[in-house]
Amino acid sequence: MISVIISGHGDFATALKGSSGMIFGDQDDLIAVPFLKGEGTQTLQEKYKQVLEGIPQENEVLFLVDIFGGTPYNAAAPYIVHNQRIDMASGVNLPILLEVLSMRGYLPLKELLTKLKKVNEEGFQVCSEHLEKIKENNHVLEGDLL
């Protein structure tokens, strides 16, 4: 099993966890760790430490953070350097989190991260590009935009 720690600036992590709960229901081993205004790297590292201490040693751990190189990322990096069962991905969004929750029970961490790269690429879509393809292919009536 992969335990997931979501972190980001402000209430981002808490809101993302709540949104995923609307779709997948409450999840075990999904922890939101907000980085709040006035906190520093050291405070966030202490929050991470407390969360990690509560995760079973046999679980792999995936940090999902908002911004590459931001404080939530930088605060988690030392835990990854010293532990091969922990890794991190930045740029987390709801589609990525939902994919993690659906695959974390049967894929090892490294395979999951490989799949997430593709999901992230496919998840970013531009509506006008789809409309243009539809017009070019003349496959669909005007009211059918997807």
**Catalytic site residue 9?**
yes
How many CB atoms lie under 10 A from the CB of residue 66? 21
Burial of 118 (0-12, 13-18, 19+ CB in 10 A): exposed
Q: Which residue among the candidates 9, 82, 130, 139 is catalytic per the annotation?
A: 9
61: buried, middle or exposed (CB in 10 Å: 19+, 13-18, 0-12)? buried
Residues annotated as part of the active site: 9
